[in-house]
A = this chain, B = another copy of it.
Amino acid sequence: MISFSDRLASAVKKKKTPVLVGLDPRWAQLPTQFTDGKDKSNPDVVAAAFEDFCYAVLDVVAELVPAVKPQAAFFEQYGPSGMKALANVIAYAHKKGLLVLFDGKRNDIGSTASAYAAGLLGAGGQSPWGADALTVSPYLGDDSLTPFVETAQERGAGIFILVKTSNPGGAMLQDLLVTRSPSMGEEGSLEPLYRVVGRYVNDLSVQSRARGISAANPYGDVGAVVGATWPEQLTELRQVMKQTWFLVPGYGSQGGGARDVAGAFDENGLGALINNSRGILFAFRSDKYSNQYGESNWERAVEAATRDMVASLAAETSAGRLDF
């Protein structure tokens, strides 16, 4: 079985870009062809519209990017029918040759974490949801993360653990200066919580390399979520997390630009996926693309926004070296 890290590296090299398209369907922003005359109070109707919209987006982006990231919340919002639509969207993305990162930020204590991992991780019939990777929250600590790591490795899947999130409020806990409790051993110097988590994630990623990742690929199967909105910390974390894939949200609508994420990559343009959700899905509503494309050409706006992001990252970061 090929490891997640190797599959991801291959996909990034093949598509020559680290662009990750986030699938965040929002009823009020869908092109009206999906919503006109429909009953938005009926979750089945909304779920079906989300499914059709995502299929159309996948038809456009499948040739352009290595992976997509459905955001579970937008589907779960509409109940069981929303979750069924999510499963169908994941299956369709796989059919189009894309890797799928399930953005659920799940976690729980050990045996419950195992249930999440068993259900979510592993494509090709290995799990009901079929995700190639899952985002995971670290607050419950090491024994809550281990079941995800183990299941991921058994199934050629990966996880991305939250380290430094893109939202302003993320600083509330993540930027606190911490030291080890005396009961946990020697006290060290103070450092931000996100760095403690980051180093731990990198250790897990290094360990994961023992399970058959190719020597040419420096990254393991345990990645980190680090927001584009914190360029300094992104660069700092890359220095202490040299063997960890970064999933970088916050590009575009949250204010991060191509230069802000440059520090996420290694010199070969590998090591990071840069996510864009609304900026691609709803490009036809943006100042930049609405005049040229308009609603009736919303798919062309998706394509243009994706191609422009690919070009910006190639111009402003080492991702440009993926071309060679």
Contact = CB atoms under 8 A, between A and B. Distances in A.
Interface of A: 24, 43, 71, 73-74, 76-80, 82-84, 86-87, 103, 105-110, 112-113, 115-116, 118-120, 128-129, 137-145, 162, 165-181, 183-184, 187, 190, 192-193, 196-197, 200, 249
Contacts of A171: 141, 181, 184
Nearest to A277: B112
Contacts of A109: 165-167, 170, 249
Contact of A79 (B128, B177, B196): B128
A141 B112 contact: no
B173 A176 contact: no
B162 A140 contact: yes
Closest 3 pairs between A and B when the two form their complex, measured CB to CB: A79-B128, A143-B169, A77-B119
A76 B82 CA distance: 13
B80 A116 contact: no
A24 B115 CA distance: 10
A119 B79 contact: yes
Contact of A177 (B108, B120, B168, B178): B178
B181 A177 contact: yes
A184 B116 CA distance: 36
A218 B217 CA distance: 57
A170 B141 contact: yes
Contact of A77 (B107, B128, B173): B128
A175 B170 contact: no
A139 B136 CA distance: 11
Contact of A142 (B139, B169, B187, B200): B169
Given A80-B87, A140-B167, A141-B165, 13 more contacts: A73-B116, A76-B129, A78-B119, A79-B119, A79-B129, A105-B137, A138-B139, A139-B173, A140-B162, A144-B167, A144-B169, A175-B184, A181-B192
